[in-house]
């Protein structure tokens, strides 16, 4: 009988045939961009025959598409372990490393491919681009001075910026954002216009000065009969952001909002999104709130499009200023001392208190571990306990972890974002962990609905509004992303 034996597992011809059948079915789901179904079927293929590198390689690609970079990395490494000649495995692993900002590790994989395939132009191109990033980062590290943080804001000279006569867009009044300015700005953006750089810089300088005075955890008070809205990721989908305001009303002192991170990247109207949100923050500072997400960071912005978009629409200097502003974004909000809202999730230890969160030194790029990292990166899981993150950063936390955190801090439940959900939201952990994601048809491919949460101060009971994506101008997601991520979206 023709069988293959590995790791005490007998692979019969029937199992080999089943593995191929599952793979073929998974490939069809992948083509339809139903990546979760593809992952399930690749997993069945692996269970039938765990010795085939391409099954792991294909599942790695599907994990990349669903932003499970930790799982993608593990699968790519397993594929390489099974077949050192499986070049796609090195590509997949490099893409996972790139997605996690681990450029040196990615460079090693691209270098290997160029050695085994010296005539492969694509491999050579990716190696060259990755090498440029590694050298640029090394240079920036070499010239940086540890005890002196470069301050771009202090180098901006607004007086030297003139408003050209032909500029017909919105103007600040006495240097201040007004409701008229915001309405005019949104109309300008709907028509694909551009805010004058002088006003753009002024908004960034003013919002940075405001955030610098805030703690890392913001306490929000909501009156008994007052409505409060929480939105999740919008990811540069400006026209869907406008739809939220159409459905739920413009922000105002009687219609407050909290946007829970990941305002930018992937969607190619990120500049429009962020200036709209920052404008409303300045207009209604006590009734419009913004939490930092994992994409409000330099590495993510360089890879997923925001950095390139700012440079295309404005300047490299402004891109650096955005990084400074993002470093001051609050990390979490506590609503009526009953509900904690953060972008990612909970922690790798059970002893984190609200007081500790409020004292986090956040003026930096997100670290690779610890409470600040976990607030931006963690995800819930269905089983109790904790597990390594599917993303390769942060942790996964179960219902018991959520329960203990809520009891310790005398809270009712948590709201977080960070994950695409088919219905735009998900209620998990016995109703104690709610995910809200506000970018419908994410990346123009996922087919998901978007959602936002409304609640009233009296009972703090979450109500969900869902909606479909609206049309946008023909600029594809990731249009400004780094060329090395062409595999990703």
State residue 136 phi and psi, 5-degree precision.
-65, -45
Distance of alpha carbon 259 from alpha carbon 94, whole angstroms: 32
Query: Angle 53-65/35-48 helices, nearest 10 degrees?
Result: 160
Q: Check 287, 295, 429, 482 and give the catalytic one.
A: 295
Return the number of other C-beta atoms located less than 10 Å from residue 330's C-beta: 21
- Please list, in sequence order, all residues whose beta carbon lies within 8 angstroms of the beta carbon of residue 84, skipping any fewer than 6 positions away: none
Under 8 Å between Cβ of 413 and 90: no
**Nearest to 335, CA basis, from 238, 243, 257, 401:** 257
Q: Could you tell me the sign of the dihedral formed by the alpha carbons of 161, 165, 170, 175, in that order?
A: positive
Strand-strand pairing, 395-397 and 386-388: antiparallel
Chain mean position to CA 317? 23
- Token pair, residue 27, equals 């490939």
Query: Tell me, what DSSP letter sits at residue 380?
Result: E
SS3 482: coil
Q: Are strands 227-231 and 257-259 parallel, antiparallel or unpaired?
A: parallel
User: Any catalytic annotation for residue 97?
Assistant: no
Angle between helices 13-31 and 35-48 (to 10 degrees): 170
Report the C-alpha gap between 112 and 114 in whole angstroms. 5
Q: Catalytic residue positions?
A: 295
């Amino acid at each position: 009988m023709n069988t293959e034996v590995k790791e005490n597992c007998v692979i019969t011809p029937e199992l080999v045939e089943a593995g191929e059948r599952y793979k073929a079915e998974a490939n069809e789901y992948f083509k339809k961009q139903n990546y979760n179904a593809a992952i399930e079927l690749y997993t069945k293929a692996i269970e039938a025959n765990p010795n085939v590198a391409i099954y792991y390689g294909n599942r790695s690609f599907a994990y990349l598409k669903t932003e499970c970079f930790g799982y993608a990395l593990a699968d790519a490494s397993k594929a390489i372990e099974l077949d050192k000649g499986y070049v796609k495995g090195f590509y997949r692993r490099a893409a996972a490393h790139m997605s996690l900002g681990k450029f040196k590790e990615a460079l090693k994989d691209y270098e290997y491919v160029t050695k085994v395939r010296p005539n492969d132009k694509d491999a050579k191109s990716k190696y060259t681009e990755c090498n440029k990033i590694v050298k640029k980062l090394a240079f920036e590290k070499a010239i940086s001075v540890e005890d002196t943080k470069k301050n771009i804001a202090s180098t901006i000279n607004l007086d030297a910026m003139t408003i050209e006569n032909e500029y017909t867009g919105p103007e600040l009044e006495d240097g201040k954002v007004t409701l008229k300015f915001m309405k005019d700005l949104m109309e300008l953006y709907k028509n694909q216009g551009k805010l004058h750089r002088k006003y753009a810089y002024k908004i960034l300088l003013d919002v940075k000065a405001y955030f610098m005075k805030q703690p890392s955890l913001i306490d929000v008070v909501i009156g008994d009969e007052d409505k409060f809205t929480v939105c999740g990721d919008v990811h540069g989908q400006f026209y869907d952001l406008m739809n939220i305001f159409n459905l739920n009303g413009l922000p105002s002192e009687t219609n407050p909002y909290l946007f829970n991170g990941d305002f930018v990247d992937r969607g190619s109207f990120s500049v429009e999104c962020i200036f709209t949100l920052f404008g409303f923050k300045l207009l209604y500072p006590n009734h419009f709130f913004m939490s930092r997400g994992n994409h409000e960071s330099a590495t993510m912005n360089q890879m997923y499009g925001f950095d390139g978009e700012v440079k295309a629409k404005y300047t490299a200097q402004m891109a650096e200023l955005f990084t400074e502003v993002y470093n001051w974004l609050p990390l979490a909000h506590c609503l009526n001392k009953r509900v904690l809202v953060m972008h990612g999730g909970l922690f790798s230890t059970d002893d984190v208190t609200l007081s500790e969160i409020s004292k986090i030194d956040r003026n930096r790029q997100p670290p690779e571990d610890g409470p600040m990292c976990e607030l931006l990166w963690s995800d819930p899981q269905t089983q109790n306990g904790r597990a390594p993150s599917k993303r390769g950063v942060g942790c996964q936390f179960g219902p018991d972890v959520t329960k203990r955190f809520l009891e310790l801090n005398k809270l009712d439940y948590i709201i977080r974002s960070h994950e695409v959900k088919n219905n735009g939201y998900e209620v998990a952990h016995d109703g104690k962990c709610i995910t809200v994601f506000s970018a419908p048809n994410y990346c123009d491919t996922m087919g998901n609905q978007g959602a936002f949460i409304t609640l009233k101060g009296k009972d703090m009971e979450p109500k969900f509004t869902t909606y479909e994506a609206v049309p946008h101008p023909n600029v594809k997601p990731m249009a400004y992303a780094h060329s090395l991520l062409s595999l990703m979206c």
